[in-house]
Amino acid sequence: MTFFTFIEILGTLAFAISGIRLASAKRFDWFGAYVVGFTTAIGGGTVRDLMLSLTPFWMLDPTYLVVTAVALLSVIAFGRYVIRFNNTFFIFDAIGLGLFTVVGIEKTLSAGFPLWVGVIMGTITGAAGGVLRDILINEEPLIFRKEIYALACVFGGLVFWLCQLIGLGVGATEVATASSVILARIVAVHYGLKLPILK
């Protein structure tokens, strides 16, 4: 397993858990929770691949179905701990956001598109799944109403570009990018940073 595949699977697990956790709070049954978790995990990547004229990644590998099932079983087995802590959703969502931003950028570059497109696709990969999740559970999308979210992905894209400029290795660039997105989310939530409301 390559490092890129590892972070893709880890991101899938993190986003699936965040979606399933919210579905459980809405009293969804196991199947409904699985659908929400799976949509959260693959939604952004599916939108990205369709925009890049690629076959959606999860149609080529059943691993993502299995990873979502593992996420569901984990929440079922440890649900009392997952739901009890309000920051659990935030932690897994932030991790998934950072990892999927990296995946989106790398896949876009490997498809032959320039880096500025990669930054956009990294943002879509990280944020679109959460939008679809919130729609499924009948909530106003987090990306439009809370602390800085999608902009954290854009910030990660800029970090990726800087790492390339200074000649950092691929693995180090990916770690730095994901870490910067996660850190940006943590700082935004901790200090309540958000964009001005349009009036």
- Size (the chain), residues: 199
Q: Domain total for the chain?
A: 1
| H helical segments located in the chain | 3-25, 30-51, 63-84, 87-110, 115-136, 150-165, 170-191
Is 100 a member of any domain?
yes
Mean pLDDT of the chain: 88
Q: Is the per-residue pLDDT at 150 higher than 70?
A: yes
pLDDT higher than threshold 70 for residue 27: yes
User: What was the pLDDT predicted at 166?
Assistant: 94
pLDDT value of position 196? 81
pLDDT for the residue numbered 192: 83
Determine whether 65 is exposed, middle or buried from the number of CB atoms within 10 Å of its CB (0-12, 13-18, 19+): middle
Confirm if 155 and 181 have CB atoms less than 8 A apart: yes
Contact between 25 and 86 under an 8 Å Cβ cutoff? The reply is no
Rounded mean pLDDT, 137-153: 82
Higher pLDDT among residues 28 and 194, named by residue = 28
Asked if the structure places residue 10 within a domain, the reply is: yes
Tell me, yes or no, whether 196 lies in a domain.
no
Within-domain flag for 172: yes
What pLDDT, in 10s, does the model give residues 78-127?
877 665 655 656 777 788 889 899 999 999 999 999 999 999 999 999 99
pLDDT of residue 34: 97
Cα(111)–Cα(199) distance, rounded to whole angstroms? 40
pLDDT of residue 96: 84
Instruction: Look at 190 and 180; give whichever has higher pLDDT.
Output: 180
SS3 label, residue 63? helix
CB burial class (10 A; 0-12, 13-18, 19+) of residue 115?
Answer: middle
Domain boundaries, position 117:
3-191
What are the φ and ψ backbone dihedral angles of 168, each rounded to 5 degrees? -70, 150
According to the model, what pLDDT value does residue 14 have? 84
